[in-house]
Amino acid sequence: MDKGGLKSAESAMAGAGTNSGNQFSANFNGVLKKLAGAAVFAEAGKLIGQTFATAFNEAARNEQLIGGVETLFGEEGSEAYRVVTENASKAFAEAGVSANDYMEQVSSFSASLINSLGGDTIAAANVADIAMRDMSDNANKMGSSIESIQNAYQGFAKGNFTMLDNLKLGYGGTKEEMQRLLDRAEELTGKTFNIDNFADITEAIHAVQDEMGIAGVTLEESETTVEGSLNRLSASWTNFLTGLGTGKDVERLASELVDSFGNAVKLVIPMAVNVFKGMVSALPDVIAEMMPLVADGITQVIDMLPTFIPALMSSAVNLFMGLVNAIPTIAMSLLGAIGNLLQQGWSAISSFDLSGAASNMIQGLVNGLLAAPRAVADALIQIAQNAKDAFCEFWGINSPSKVMGELGVYMGQGLVSGIDSQQDNVQRSMTGLVSSAYGDAPSYRGFSQGGMAGGVVYNVYVNGAVVNSDSAIQDSMYSFLTNLQRRAAM
């Protein structure tokens, strides 16, 4: 291949490599974009799911709270019900809380409020609204937590004044201090307030806070401060989600949400711009002030290096030499430990009683052999018991004695029948046997019976002849026995 061909091949390879690299980069960027898109969609889906869950929960909560308002102030359509629900719808701006939070808090102390007003629910609804705005104004003005102030008001409804100082109005948490606050309110309004009447206490606190410039702070701050505007935005957002769940007043709630958002943005953006401007303007000065400090620090480090490096090297050398010097000691300690280990092992082996172990082994073997017959006997007994159980199970009985008894009867009956059937054969065989063995022995053929006057005569026949005397019978028997004895001796 010539040089031109080589250059063409090199160019082709370079072009292919470039194209492959570009293709890989494009594909990789595409994958990253897809992953980023998937992450965005995942987060969006999660946010949507949380929004739906919040809307559902707030709507369910609203249903419960509406029921509580109806119980305390009357059914929907009554004047007191209208006052409470309208004030709740404005609470996001005037009290910095959602409508649900407003109704929940009002319901917590309205029973005492209605009772202190003689059952006048409309007056109670108005006083409850004053109390809610006063609590929010106090929290925003004095910096107290709204929860501590709400707890104080719930205590006042029960005649408990220990948390009066939570309001930070200059009065302590005692009944005497609450009376002092009521006296001050009488001076401001010209009205008489009863410490045992929760409505009077609420109105007295409002008069004192109004005189101190606290009343109306929440509404003012929701329009002029970042914190107040963000609280208003949060409350209006909760109201909007509640409306989505209940399907009521959605357009109005959406408009209030947009207004709250615009108000918050109007206040937040200038603050953010101020922060950015401050950073930009201050950054050069900060850098200018920090650079000498950084340079001085670097210089000090560099100045320390000549003394630091020799010290480091010296420490490294000392460490190495210490290790080298310690090697013999370490080796001796290791060898000593190994020697002690071996010595302890040998002592343990030497102290072991081999004869005792062997004796124990033999004794165990003997004990086993002695116990074997009993084990064998137990096994045989068990086998017999199993055989008995199998026999009884086969014949369907509880005990084999009944079946064996029946078998014995059958065996005896068979034996008798067999003997009776073979009687003649046995007699012939015996007669022939005796005749062949003892041919010259007397033959007893039997008896004959004859009648005589005064009795019966029996005749005995031996070899066909009548033997009618005792001596003749004795002679015949003697002859027979003698002949039998002689034959047996042969």
Nearest to 153 by CA among 214, 198, 185: 198
Alpha-carbon separation of residue 408 from 132, 265, 403 (angstroms): 112, 119, 9
Determine the longest span between alpha carbons in the chain, in angstroms. 182
Q: What is the pLDDT along the chain (490 residues), one digit of tens a residue?
A: 444 544 454 454 445 445 554 555 566 566 556 555 556 556 667 778 788 888 889 999 999 999 999 999 999 889 999 999 999 999 999 898 999 999 999 999 999 999 999 999 999 999 999 999 999 999 999 888 889 999 999 999 999 999 999 999 999 999 999 999 999 999 999 999 999 999 999 999 999 999 999 999 998 888 888 888 899 999 999 999 999 999 999 999 999 999 999 999 998 998 888 888 888 887 787 887 887 888 778 887 787 777 767 777 777 777 777 777 778 787 777 777 887 888 777 776 666 565 666 566 666 656 665 665 666 567 667 776 777 677 677 766 666 666 666 666 666 677 667 767 776 776 676 565 555 544 544 554 444 445 444 455 556 666 666 666 667 766 777 776 677 666 656 5
Contact of 221 with 207, CB cutoff 8 Å: no
pTM for this predicted structure? 0.51
Residue 140 CA to residue 62 CA, distance in Å, equals 26
Q: Where do the structural domains in the chain lie, given as residue ranges?
A: 54-248, 442-489
Q: How many CB atoms lie within 10 A of CB 67?
A: 11
Residue 92 CA to residue 237 CA, distance in Å, equals 9
- Angle between helix axes 121-142 and 146-157 (nearest 10 degrees) is 140
Q: How many CB atoms lie within 10 A of CB 226?
A: 14
Residue 479 backbone dihedrals phi, psi, to 5 degrees? -60, -40
Alpha-carbon separation of residue 363 from 38, 355, 370 (angstroms): 82, 12, 10
How far is Cα of residue 413 from the mean position of the Cα atoms in its chain? 80
